[in-house]
Amino acid sequence: MTIGVSMLVGSSRAGSLNERLAKAIERLAPKELVFERVKIDDLPFCDADLEKSPPEQVLRLKATLDRNPAAFFVMPEFNRSLPAVLKNAIDIGSRPMAANSWRGKVVAMTGASPGAIGTAVGQQHLRQILSVIGANVMAGEAYISFSQPDLIADDGHIENESTRAFIQAYVDRFAEFAQRLCDQ
Ligand code: FNR
Q: Domain total for the chain? A: 1
**Ligand 1: does its nearest atom lie under 6 Å from the Cβ of 116?**
no
Give the model's pLDDT for residue 118.
87
Q: Which of 8, 16, 21, 78 to mutate to test the pocket of ligand 1 (most atoms within 8 A of CB)?
A: 78
Q: Which residue, 32, 52, 36, is CA-closest to 44? A: 52
Domain CATH for 104: 3.40.50.360
100-134 confidence digits (pLDDT tens): 999 999 999 999 999 888 899 999 999 999 999 99
Q: In whole angstroms, what is the distance from residue 152 CA to residue 21 CA? A: 7
45-103 confidence digits (pLDDT tens): 999 999 999 999 999 999 999 999 999 999 999 999 999 999 999 999 999 999 999 99
**Ligand 1: does its nearest atom lie under 6 Å from the Cβ of 113?**
yes
How many percent of the chain have pLDDT more than 70? 100
Atom 27 in ligand 1: which residue has the minimum CA distance? Answer: 76
Give the model's pLDDT for residue 147.
87
Could you tell me the residue range of the domain that residue 10 belongs to? 3-183
Work out the average pLDDT over 149-156.
95
ipTM above 0.95, yes or no: yes
Give the model's pLDDT for residue 116.
86
Q: 144: CA distance to ligand 1 center in Å?
A: 13
- 9 pLDDT tier (thresholds 50, 70, 90): very high
DSSP lists the bridge partners of residue 113 as 145
Q: 119: CA distance to ligand 1 center in Å?
A: 9
Q: 29: CA distance to ligand 1 center in Å?
A: 26
Q: 52: CA distance to ligand 1 center in Å?
A: 35
Q: In whole angstroms, what is the distance from residue 113 CA to residue 155 CA? A: 18
37-54 confidence digits (pLDDT tens): 999 999 999 999 999 999
Give the model's pLDDT for residue 184.
73
**Ligand 1: does its nearest atom lie under 6 Å from the Cβ of 13?**
yes
In ligand 1, the atom with minimum distance to the C-alpha of 122 is: 9
Q: Which residue, 63, 65, 87, 68, is CA-closest to 76? A: 87
| Its pTM surpasses 0.80 | yes
